[in-house]
Structure 1
Amino acid sequence: MDSLKQMNAAIDYIESHLTEEINIERVAQIAMTSSYHFKRMFSLLAGIALSDYIRRRRLTYAAFALMRGKRVIDVALEYGYHSPDAFARAFAKQHGINPSQVNGAGVSLTSFPKLTFQLIIRGGTEMKYKIEHHDAFTVVGYKKRVKLSIEGEQKEITDFISKMEANYVQLEQISDAEPRGILHINANYEENERGQGELDFYIAVASTRVDKPQFESLHISAHTWAIFSIEGDWDLIKASWENIYTEWLPTSGYVLAEAPELLISKDKVTEIWLSVIEA
């Protein structure tokens, strides 16, 4: 429950600083996690990227200010836009009209509400997990920078997986370290200027063979991991991933540490690895 309070405190901080430059590091400190994982967790829980949420809240308040008679240029500067043109484009994208049209007859505006995170009690979802410490290891394989979709299929990822499936045997031949199996790895999550999430997606194996020039490598430091085991199809894996963030993590007594997220397939069992520290 404490993690939900911390997330809501972080939202309160954002709300009170909408007319200022928001320090995401400070927001993450309030939520007691890293900025990397705060942005990642926020997008999974809220269904919207953090930067996009901030933009929409600012434009909601900007509409209120214009309705009270403030000048467009003053409102643009107040909510972080350095030119009226940039403000007008963003405003029109959310509200469907130009800022100068706000006080026209019959005008409709789009208000984006403040988010509040709550724990909803519903039919329990059983999750098999263990907490383990693992020493540092290196993964070797293929990497692609992908753009994420908030809803629906992650097409860039699924297309990359389909493209690389023929190379799995080659990867398995250089797998000589733990954890065993084909690893799908999310690393270096960021949000671009349009508020869209991006990350480095790896298809790799744990290996000491970092001398292979045709492969990318990624060093993963020693961490304590929450490891969830799933036996089922891809739909169940996706549902389990969501349940970890929305059900397990808020009540577990753990918070996310800054590390890649791992999905490991071996012996018809899929494992999700998330690096954690005690709250």
Structure 2
Amino acid sequence: MDWLSSLRTAIDYMEEHLLQEIGAEDVAGEVHLSPFYFQKCFKIVTGYTIGEYLRNRRLYLAGLEVLGREASGEGARNGSGGGRGAEGKVIDLAYKYGYDTPEGFTRAFARFHGLSPMQLRAQPYRLKVFLPLIVEISVKGGSRMDFTIEKREAMRMIGFERTFSFEEAYREIPGFWKEFCGKYCGQEAVREAGEEAVRQTVAECMVGEFGVCVEDEADMEHFRYYIAGAYQGGEVPEGMKVFEVPAGEWAKFRCIGPMPEALQTVNTRIFSEWLPGNKEFEAAFHINIEWYSGGDTESEGYESAIWIPVKRLGGQS
């Protein structure tokens, strides 16, 4: 199953189970893909995380129920139609749509629709519509992606680890980098007592050359992210971790331009154009690497890269 077919299947699965307690792991499992890569692809292609999509769809249907309406075709599909309509209690809707308390439901409802359930009844024209997504193939012209395929031995890396949720990662990871750069990069770096060993390791191992995403198989809602460099051996300072990236083939995508726009643009193209339906390669394991060169990150000529582990389809070598 290619990625676009997988997206369609995943959306159908979510629509059929909107009133059940499902998450990213369940959806990815339905299409037999890694939650790590599937969630990344879903966010890039649709603009929503899986959690956001489920939440928005449920709150739209809850809004219909508040108004005593039934979405065309949706009531039979997910069991949401009819019900108690405008006379239904908020507590009933809260439990039906997966909220532990009426207060939590009302807050989420107000954030989504812009007003409370009672206010929506008085102003039905303000219902926020969020229909099922339709995935279509878009054939794009323009430049080819600049990448090479390279075999690499296992790599030992050292760096700073932090865990992020898939929903919050896009917002929070830049803050992690800002914190790191403020402490260890350039002349303006803050020098704290007792960090000499850390600073020495950062310099010797070029920590900051890589950003590494690693799926945590024990927690499919989160992943580990490292600001890292190549481990040179020796004592590991407190607060840093050594980890290994397995040997394998990597697709290395070159990025030229100021950060973060250049890297984000290439990343979007990888998961929306290159991976979906690729007849030669598929993602091999649950790690991807960002590589950063030195110099001015705002320069038009700044160079960076994204490395994706791949395996050849059909067992080709």
TM class, shorter-length: 0.7 to 0.9
Structure 2 match to 1:25: 25
Q: What is the identity, as a one-letter code, of the residue corresponding to 1:275?
A: P
Q: 1 or 2 for the larger relative contact order (CA 8 Å, sep ≥6)?
A: 1
Distance, in Å, in 2 between the alignment partners of 1:154 and 1:137 is: 23
1:97 aligns with 2:122: no
Among 282, 287, 292, the residue aligned to 1:260: 287
Among 222, 247, 253, the residue aligned to 1:228: 253
Secondary structure of 1:113's counterpart equals coil
Point out the structure with max Rg over C-alpha. 2
Structure 2 match to 1:162: 181
Secondary structure of 1:77's counterpart equals helix
On the 8 A contact 1:157/1:201 being kept in 2, the answer is no
Secondary structure of 1:127's counterpart equals coil
1:224–1:143 distance in 2 versus 1, CA, 3 Å: same
1:246 aligns with 2:269: no
Distance, in Å, in 2 between the alignment partners of 1:85 and 1:4 is: 38
1:14–1:230 distance in 2 versus 1, CA, 3 Å: same
Sequence identity (%): 28
Measured after TM superposition, the shift of residue 33 of structure 1 is: 1.6
On the 8 A contact 1:36/1:258 being kept in 2, the answer is no
Measured after TM superposition, the shift of residue 145 of structure 1 is: 4.9
Once the two structures are superposed, residues 151-184 of structure 1 have per-residue CA deviations (whole angstroms, 9 ceiling, x without a partner) of xx96414513532324998546347xxxx99212
Write out aligned runs for 1:2-151 (5 A).
2-68=2-68, 69=85, 70-105=88-123, 107-145=125-163, 147-149=168-170
Distance, in Å, in 2 between the alignment partners of 1:107 and 1:92 is: 15
Q: What is the identity, as a one-letter code, of the residue corresponding to 2:179?
A: F
Distance, in Å, in 2 between the alignment partners of 1:83 and 1:54 is: 18
TM value normalised by structure 2: 0.72
On the 8 A contact 1:249/1:255 being kept in 2, the answer is yes
On the 8 A contact 2:212/2:225 being kept in 1, the answer is yes
Q: What is the identity, as a one-letter code, of the residue corresponding to 1:217?
A: V
Runs (4+) off by over 6 Å? none
Measured after TM superposition, the shift of residue 274 of structure 1 is: 1.2
Q: What is the identity, as a one-letter code, of the residue corresponding to 2:246?
A: S
Among 204, 209, 222, the residue aligned to 2:228: 204
Structure 1: gaps of 5 or more residues: none
Structure 1 match to 2:204: 173
TM value normalised by structure 1: 0.80
Query: Which structure is higher in strand share?
Result: 1
1:181–1:200 distance in 2 versus 1, CA, 3 Å: closer
User: Aligned Cα RMSD in Å?
Assistant: 3.3
1:257–1:52 distance in 2 versus 1, CA, 3 Å: farther
Distance, in Å, in 1 between the alignment partners of 2:33 and 2:40 is: 11
Distance, in Å, in 1 between the alignment partners of 2:119 and 2:284 is: 46
Structure 1 match to 2:305: 271
Secondary structure of 1:14's counterpart equals helix
